[in-house]
Amino acid sequence: MLTLLVVAGLILADLRFNSLDRTRAILDTLVAPVYWVADIPSRLKDWQETHLVSRSTLQGENERLRRENLILEGRTQQMASLQAENIRLRALLNSAALLRDDVVVAELIGVSPDPVRQHVVINKGSRDSVYVGQPLIDANGLMGQVVEVGEFTSRVLLITDLTHSVPVQVNRNGVRAIAEGNGSLSALEVHHVAATTDIREGDLLVTSGLGGRFPVGYPVAVVSSVVRDPGQTFARILAQPTAALDRSRHVLLVFTVGQGEEG
C-alpha cells in the first residue's frame, strides 16, 4: 500500500511539475539497449536487402539514381544565383536574411508501442548534441520534435500526437493557422480557421516559424478536406502529413543556425 502511494506521488511529480526530466534522461540511456535489440529484425531485413541482391538489380538501381542525380543537379544550377537574388531582395525589404539550416542524418530505431502515443526513438542523443525541442524532418516534410534526450538515443514526438500542435501557414497565400495532431498517423486537424478564410483542398501547409520552435518553410501537410458548415463559426479542416510518418527509417535532425524572421 505504501509503495502504491509513493508511485502515485511519482505520477503526480512527472505529470504536474516535470521535475523528473533529469532522471528520465539518465534512465533513457539505460534502457536504450532494449531498443537496439528490438531493432535487430528490421536491421537484418535492411542488410538482406542491401547485400543479397542480384547484380542486375544493383546496376538498374545505380542507373536510376544516376539519372535522378543528374536531374537534381540540373535543378540546383540556378540555386546559387537565386539565393543571392533572394538575399538582395530581402535586404531591399529590410528583413533579416534567412540562414540555411544544417541537418544530421539519424536512423529510426523504435516506435512507441503504446497506440495512444505517437513517438519514435532515433539513434542520436546528447552525444551528437541533440537538444529538446529540435525539429525532425524526413525527405518529404516535418515529422516532429525531440522531447527527451538520452546519451545515445532520443525520443521524438510526432506532429500527429494528440498533444502536439504546429504553427503553419498556407503556402499559396500565407494564411496562418495551427495544425494539431489527432492521434491518427494520417491526419492533422486545423482548428479555429474562420469559415470565410481562403483555404482549399490541396493547399500545402508549411511551417510558419511563429512560436520559434520550427524553422520557416518546411512542408507539414496537404489539406485533404474542408467542410464549411454555416451553423459553425469555424471551418472543419483536415490535412494529410506530407512526411511518411509510419514508413521513414532515415530521418534528418535540423540544426537551426539562426532563426530568420518573417519579413
Partner 1 sequence: MESGQGYWVVIATLLSAAVLAVLPVPHALVWWRPEWVALVLVYWCIALPHRVGVVVALLTGIGMDILEGAVLGQNTFALSVIALLSVGLYQRVRLFSLWQQAGIVFVLIGIHQLICQWVQNLEGVGTQQPLFLLPALSSALFWPLVLSLLRGLRRHYRVA
Interacting residues with partner 1 (CB under 8 A):
3-4, 7-8, 10-11, 13-15, 20, 23-24, 27-28, 30-31, 34-35, 37-38, 41-42, 110-117, 119, 147-148, 155, 161-163, 183, 185, 246
In whole angstroms, the minimum distance from the beta carbon of 142 to partner 1 comes to 20
The counts of H helices and E strands in the chain are: 4, 12
In whole angstroms, the minimum distance from the beta carbon of 69 to partner 1 comes to 31
Q: What angle do CA 251, 106, 132 make, to 5 degrees?
A: 95
How many residues are present in the chain? 263
Q: Contact 104/184 with Cβ under 8 angstroms?
A: no
Q: What angle do CA 112, 22, 156 make, to 5 degrees?
A: 25
User: In whole angstroms, how far apart are CA 203 and each of 70, 89, 182, 216?
Assistant: 29, 26, 19, 17
- CB closer to partner 1 out of 33 and 263: 33
DSSP-assigned beta bridge partners for residue 167: 178
- CB closer to partner 1 out of 183 and 217: 183
- CB closer to partner 1 out of 10 and 53: 10
- CB closer to partner 1 out of 9 and 174: 9
In whole angstroms, the minimum distance from the beta carbon of 118 to partner 1 comes to 9
In whole angstroms, the minimum distance from the beta carbon of 78 to partner 1 comes to 41
